[in-house]
């Protein structure tokens, strides 16, 4: 017969072992540093059009129809392209929200392969698809995003958030 303290200890161990896979599922797969690095990588890799009125907005070169959906999803209200363009902090907040969603999805799809997740998210960012960005313009773009992402992740962590860059 097991005494009461031993029974409680064994029960705790059994519960802990049984819950550990569930707790792993609860932990968000994307860290703040991954989101920040991806947001910055997308900004740095954004194709720069030479036309002042190219139809794309902000440093991330977002289409107006995309912006409406993203701002409604992330802020619960639609922003105009002008609002998005003139408020870098809000623009970064929306981009971070979408990056969080897409990196989370891609980390799950790639069994937490970070670079494969970045590739998939970058491909999606450019084309709306997670694959097929292996060559040509989109292949070059994805490689650029991966390179910038790795550079951002390698930078020393600062106390201040990059949300106002």
Boundaries of every domain in the chain: 31-45+54-156
Per-residue pLDDT of the chain (165 residues; tens, 9 = 90+): 566 555 545 455 455 445 445 444 444 579 999 999 999 999 999 887 666 666 677 778 888 899 999 999 999 999 998 898 899 999 999 999 999 999 999 999 999 999 999 999 999 999 999 999 999 999 999 999 999 999 999 998 765 444 444
The angle, 0 to 180 degrees and rounded to 10, between the axes of the packed helices 32-45 and 136-154 is 130
Tokens of 84: 């998005």
Judge contact between 83 and 96, C-beta under 8 A.
no
Q: Could you tell me the pTM of the whole model?
A: 0.75
Tokens of 134: 């292996």
């Amino acid at each position: 017969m097991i005494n009461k303290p031993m029974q409680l200890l064994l029960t705790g161990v059994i519960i802990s072992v049984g819950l550990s896979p569930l707790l792993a599922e609860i932990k968000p797969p994307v860290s703040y540093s991954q989101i920040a690095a991806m947001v910055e990588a997308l900004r740095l890799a954004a194709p720069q059009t030479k036309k002042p009125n190219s139809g794309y907005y902000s440093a991330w070169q977002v289409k107006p129809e995309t912006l409406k959906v993203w701002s409604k999803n992330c802020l619960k209200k639609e922003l105009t392209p002008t609002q998005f363009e003139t408020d870098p902090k809000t623009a970064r907040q929306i981009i971070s929200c979408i990056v969080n969603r897409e990196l989370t999805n891609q980390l799950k799809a790639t069994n937490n392969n970070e670079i494969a997740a970045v590739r998939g998210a970058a491909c999606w960012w450019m084309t709306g698809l997670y694959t097929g960005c292996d060559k040509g313009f989109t292949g070059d773009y994805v490689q650029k995003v991966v390179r910038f992402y790795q550079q951002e992740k390698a930078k020393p962590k600062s106390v201040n958030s990059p949300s106002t860059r």
